[in-house]
Structure 1
Amino acid sequence: MIVSNPKQKITAVIPIRRGSQRVKDKNLRPFGDTCLMELKIRTLMQVPEIDEIIVNTNSEDAIRIVNECYAVGGVKTYRREEYYASSECSGSEFFRNLGEVTDTDVFMYCPCTSPFVKPETISQCIRAYAERGENDCVSTVSQIKEFLWLDGKPLNYDPSNAPNSQDLPDMVALNFGVTVIGRQDLINNRNIIGKNPRFVVTSDIEAIDIDTPLDFYIAEQIYRKTVIEKLELLE
């Protein structure tokens, strides 16, 4: 195990809410030759530093699939209380509850909606957390080179002296591909991101986050091209 304290337990948690709103059942609906939940489980099972994988969900279908197909591999489920899967629950309440119900030292937040995060990138984040120094969490981010405006005002450039896009300030956006944080920090902060985060920049493909039907469609086409067709060529 690659953590400062060899006794620390690393748990990867896959959060799944039944139904989902913008993309109906996006975590369990067909995605190429699989579904987003199973793809995420198989990815995490390739990360040697992880001690435990838990699917935190209020979906009976998700629990059934895990118990039938992945329990033998040690994957567990936690049946989420309905309140923490409802729109009444705030993000802060949700994150705090995730920490409170997960018996671990190091918590990894691994949503299904980032299907292309590689096992190697997850291992990199775990190593970065072990070497974090003053940082209290590690999270994946995407680089942004865009001309940003807010409330009618530019955020990151002077329109009267506009730079080339490559010369814009180095800004990043959280993409939540994976986040590593101490369980107690998660509970105390009520957020998966700590007070002093360390960032790992991902590739554009790894940064893809499925949030809309168009996102799902594009991601599935990429998956078919990069995974399914490659496997077919090997057969």
Structure 2
Amino acid sequence: MKKQRVVAFVPIKLNSQRLPMKNILPLGEYSLSWYIFDSLLKVKDIDDVYVFCSDEEIKKHIPSQVKFLKRDRYLDGDLVKGQEIYQSFIESVDSDIYILSHTTSPFLAANTIEKALSKMLLEDYDSALSVQKKQTFAWFEEKPLNYELNNIPRTQDITPVFIETSGFFMFRKNIFEGYRRRIGFKPFLQEVDDVEAIDIDTKEDYEFAIQVYEQVKQRAYINN
């Protein structure tokens, strides 16, 4: 069987709005951007890891093994949709499977990414994504989503819902080229824990991530 080529890419713009310069803010010993690249580089079946950014300044904030691909500055626009960014990258770098990740998920572990990728490589999944399992009472459009009001189950018996996180989306090239989708028709849902699911978009998110980082670092020090 021919080996499938796997490329991971992280799109980054430095002019973020909600949290200015978010991607290069300090988190522990490194910039926020460092951590997702460090995890991706540790995944054995990924052939290349790219940063897709219009500003070479980002290279100072990520591991040296990461390949830099300069993107057009118009892709940094606030109204540009993700699909347009992904298409631009895919047109520049060929692969069988793409892994789209984001710097805003600094606690995503390499073995979590590896588990999902192995499902795509060894089974017939056409995509995979990181999700958080919530087994609780959920509502959508002012109606219960996963239970009946006149038949309230025990929490442990309720049907869980799965929330997408920004950790990663994996997809085969033909899924994006044919349908312009990052999730195909048979996706594998890779569950992540509460720490891995942390997504940094606001100042409050960032301050919370700093606290989590210090706790994780302290726990690792105690265990060693």
Q: TM-score, normalised by structure 2?
A: 0.89
**Do structure 1's residue 46 and structure 2's residue 36 form an aligned pair?**
no
Alignment of 1:20-99 (within 5 A): 20-66=16-62, 70=64, 73=65, 75-99=66-90
**Do structure 1's residue 209 and structure 2's residue 206 form an aligned pair?**
no
**Do structure 1's residue 132 and structure 2's residue 109 form an aligned pair?**
no
Cα 1:166–1:34, aligned 2, differ >3 Å: closer, same or farther? same
Residues of 1 paired with 2:27 and 2:188: CA distance?
A: 32
1:118 counterpart residue number? 109
Post-superposition Cα deviations, 1:70-114, rounded to whole Å, max 9, x if no partner, equal: 0xx3x2111121222212222332332232222222211121111
1:198 counterpart residue number? 188
RMSD: 2.2
Aligned with 1:43: secondary structure? helix
Alignment of 1:4-23 (within 5 A): 5-6=2-3, 8-23=4-19
Q: Which runs of 5+ in 2 are unaligned?
A: none
Q: Which moved more, 1:202-211 or 1:111-120?
A: 202-211
Amino acid at match of 1:106: I
Aligned with 1:159: secondary structure? coil
Q: Which moved more, 1:157-166 or 1:31-40?
A: 157-166
Runs of 4+ in 1 over 6 A off after TM superposition: none
Residues of 2 paired with 1:39 and 1:94: CA distance?
A: 22
Determine if contact 2:33/2:61 at 8 Å carries over to the other structure.
no
Cα 1:158–1:91, aligned 2, differ >3 Å: closer, same or farther? same
How far has the Cα of 1:172 moved from its partner? Answer: 0.8
Determine if contact 2:24/2:61 at 8 Å carries over to the other structure.
no
Aligned with 1:116: secondary structure? coil
Determine if contact 2:136/2:160 at 8 Å carries over to the other structure.
no
Identity of aligned residues (%): 28
Q: TM-score, normalised by structure 1?
A: 0.85
Determine if contact 1:137/1:196 at 8 Å carries over to the other structure.
yes
2:211 counterpart residue number? 221
How far has the Cα of 1:142 moved from its partner? Answer: 0.8
1:181 counterpart residue number? 171
Determine if contact 1:145/1:170 at 8 Å carries over to the other structure.
yes
Aligned with 1:124: secondary structure? helix
How far has the Cα of 1:231 moved from its partner? Answer: 4.7
Determine if contact 1:18/1:59 at 8 Å carries over to the other structure.
yes
How far has the Cα of 1:170 moved from its partner? Answer: 2.2
Residues of 1 paired with 2:179 and 2:92: CA distance?
A: 15
Cα 1:202–1:216, aligned 2, differ >3 Å: closer, same or farther? same
How far has the Cα of 1:55 moved from its partner? Answer: 0.3
